Amino acid sequence: MKKHEKQLKTKVNIDKQKQFLYNPLKRNTCIRNNCIKCCIKTSMLLSNRDIEKIEQLGYDRHYFTKSKKGWLKLKNKDGKCVFHNGKVCIIYDNKPEGCILYPLIFDRENKSAVVDEDCPYENCFRFSKKDIKRLYNLITQITDERKNRRK
Ligand code: SF4
């Protein structure tokens, strides 16, 4: 077993224990409906802060990031995000900000925040002005970081 796979296995066990103790995820729409659609073939963009946060959990950035034209995105394994074990996100408490805000996404064409119509439960989510501002800040941050990477 490769080193990163061993790390991943350890994280799965720890997080499973946490869920049984507190079970906070049951309040979550996705968990309640057993929906993992947004974690399948993910192309979630990552900020430097997201990456540092996940690295602090012990994961090597090469294990979970892929780079395309300067953008850094979550990697997939077996058709889904490397952090999804088939049931839950194993870094739920430390997931990227884009995952926290999802299904609120940035529509590049219209330059506005929209609720992703690909989410089967799009109508179950409510977003505040604060969430929208948070999304705009995130997009600005990620775009600036990409520019710096390509200098
Ligand atoms: S980090 Fe978690 S929530 Fe985000 S795509 Fe991966 S498994 Fe899903």
If you write DSSP's letter for every residue of 69-122 in order, what string do you get? TTEEEE-EETTEETTB-SSSBTTGGG--HHHHHTTEEEETTTTEEEE-TTSTTG
**Mean pLDDT, to the nearest integer, of 70-96?**
95
Ligand 1: distance of its center to the CA of 151 in Å?
Answer: 29
pLDDT tens figures, 138-151: 999 999 999 999 88
Contact 64, 57 (CB under 8 A): no
Q: Which domain holds residue 32?
A: 3-149
- What mean pLDDT, rounded, does the chain reach? 85
Instruction: Specify the pTM.
Output: 0.81
If one residue of 72, 74, 102, 116 were mutated to test the ligand 1 pocket, choosing by the most ligand atoms within 8 A of its CB, it would be: 74
Q: Is pLDDT of 110 > 70?
A: yes
Phi, psi of 146 (to 5 degrees): -65, -45
Q: Is pLDDT of 73 > 50?
A: yes
Rounded to whole angstroms, the Cα distance separating 18 from 46 reads 25
Share of the chain above pLDDT 70, in %: 82
Phi, psi of 67 (to 5 degrees): -115, 135
> What is the total count of domains within the chain?
1
Q: Is pLDDT of 30 > 80?
A: yes
Number of residues that make up the chain: 151
